[in-house]
Amino acid sequence: MHPFRKAVESGDMDGVAALLADDVVFTSPVAFKPYPGKAITAAILRGVSRVFEDFTYIREIANPDGGDHAFVFTATVAGKKLQGCDFLHFDEDGRIDEFTVMVRPLSAAQALSEAMGAQFEQIAREAAEQ
C-alpha cells in the first residue's frame, strides 16, 4: 500500500503532512485558485478529514515511474454521497508537489464547498500556526 494512502486511511494527518513538499500546490474541486504551500495544504487536508464521513479509497492507479498516482475514493458529506479522486504528483525526493482533487456529483461538490467554507477560519488558523 502506498505510504500516502496508508497515512490517510489510518487518520495519520501528521504522516500525510510529512509527505508534502514545501512548495506543494493544492488544487481544490470547489475553489477557483490553487493553494500554494505545505502549511495551507496540510490544514486543508485536516479540514477535509473533519468533514468527510465514511471515507474509503476504492482504487489506486500509478504511473510505472512512480511520479504520478490517482487515488479514487468515496465519502459522504452532509448526507451526500460523493465519488472523487486525488491526483498526486511526486517530486524527485518522493514528496507530493502537486495535489489535485476532483469530486462528483455536483450536489455533493456543493455540500463539500459549504462544509469546507464552515471550516475555513480554523484552516487558516492552523496554517498560520505551522
State in words which class domain 3-129 has. Answer: alpha beta
**Which tens digit of pLDDT belongs to each residue from 28-63?**
998 889 999 999 999 999 999 999 999 999 999 999
Q: Can you give 94-106 as a three-state secondary structure string?
A: CCEEEEEEEEECH
- How much is the pTM? 0.93
Cell of 92: 524527485
Residue 108's CB is within 10 A of a number of other CB atoms, namely 21
Domain assignments of the chain as residue spans, ordered by start: 3-129
Which residue pairs, CB below 8 angstroms and at least 24 apart, start in 54-57?
55/8, 57/5, 57/8, 57/9
**Which tens digit of pLDDT belongs to each residue from 80-121?**
999 999 999 999 999 999 999 999 999 999 999 999 999 889
The residue type of 31 is: A
Q: What is the average per-residue pLDDT within 24-31?
A: 94
Compute the radius of gyration of the chain from its Cα atoms: 14
- The distance of Cα 44 from the centroid of its chain, to the nearest Å, equals 7
